[in-house]
Amino acid sequence: MKRFVCALGAGLLALCLGVPHAQANVLIGGTRVVFPAKDGEVTVRLTNDNDHPVLVESWIDRGDVHSTPESVDVPFLITPPLFRMEAKKEQSLRIVFTHEQLPADRESLFWLNVLEVPPKPTGPQTEGQNILQLALRSRLKLFYRPAGLPGDPLKAPGELAWKVVADGKGYALEAHNPTPYHVTISELSVAAGGRNATAEIGMVAPLSDLRLPLHDAAQKPAPGSAVTYTAINDFGAAVSFKGTVAP
């Protein structure tokens, strides 16, 4: 899950800036949302872990980090889109699919945004002071999953095929995903020259390829070399898999 921070003065600014030590206290029940098309809607549980109420705004986008509720055009409706959430209370977001012809042979990727806006400080100590407030935005992947897709999404990472390709002055692992499901890789290494070389991580789209550059590979990994990787499943759990480099 990615977190973003917005600087607030007199009101909420549209620009969101990353602040590494900021931590959202509106907790989301899960690290991703899987939307089965057959259900027509899903529910996402939120918990306000703060000792004070907050304003929560939610929207869905197609991958634009700089999206705002006013700028998006997606086939989903969120209710409630904007609400006050009391301290230590829970609230459910209802996400409903509305329209649009999406691919029926693979998942489609969207992003759920949850913006947490704290109350404006009050009291004598704030009079005449310039106040900087922080609003935190959490961003989760939302996978729209058509009905009747073949295979098991939990086993999809194990179906990846690997080959080594030239990448500038070095090498990269190229992952081929033959399944209709997205595969998110959180760790990746390959045996090369008697040691394990790590690689970039990323998400392999359905029925697609993704090139992941190798780090510190002394030599090109040979065919049959072991590929070890970790993928994140529907439940947010990290699961280990093994593969081999194709000839």
Give residue 111's pLDDT band: very low, low, confident or very high (50, 70, 90).
Answer: very high
Provide mean pLDDT across the span 152-165.
98
For the chain, the average pLDDT equals 89
Instruction: Please indicate, yes or no, whether residues 9 and 125 belong to a single structural domain of this protein.
Output: yes
Q: SS3 for 124?
A: helix
- Of the three residues 113, 145, 177, the one that is the final residue of a domain is 145
Q: Across residues 10-30, what is the average pLDDT?
A: 59
In terms of domains, do 185 and 112 share one? no
More confident residue, 51 or 20: 51
Local confidence band at 193 (pLDDT 50, 70, 90 cut-offs): confident
| pLDDT higher than 80, residue 77 | yes
At residue 1 the predicted structure's pLDDT band, cuts being 50, 70 and 90, is low
Residues 13 and 116 in one domain: yes
* Cβ pair 180, 221 in contact under 8 A: no
pLDDT (0 to 100) of residue 10: 32
With 60 as the cut, is the pLDDT of residue 22 above it? no
Q: Are residues 86 and 203 in the same domain?
A: no
165's enclosing H/E stretch is: strand 161-167
Q: Are residues 123 and 227 part of one domain?
A: no
Task: Give the per-residue pLDDT at 124.
Answer: 63
Q: Is the pLDDT of residue 15 over 50?
A: no
pTM value surpassing 0.85: yes
Supply the range of the domain harboring residue 8.
2-145
Task: For the chain, give the number of residues.
Answer: 247
| 91 & 172 share domain | no
Peptide bond into 146 cis (omega under 30): no
Q: Out of 145, 175, 208, pick the residue that ends a domain.
A: 145
CA dist 124 → 10, 127, 177 (Å):
17, 5, 60
Percent of residues, the chain, with pLDDT higher than 90:
80
135 falls within a domain: yes
Residue 8, pLDDT above cutoff 80: no
The answer on 181 and 141 residing in a single domain is no
Total domains present in the chain: 2
What pLDDT shows up at residue 192?
A: 93
Q: What is the CA radius of gyration of the chain?
A: 21
Does 163 fall in a domain?
yes
pLDDT at 132 over 70: no
Contact indicator for 92, 44 with CB cutoff of 8 Å = yes
Q: Identify whether 150 is part of a domain.
A: no
102 lies in the same domain as 215: no
Q: So what's the pLDDT on residue 17? A: 34
The answer to whether residues 45 and 23 belong to one domain is yes
Which pair of tokens denotes residue 142? Answer: 């939302």
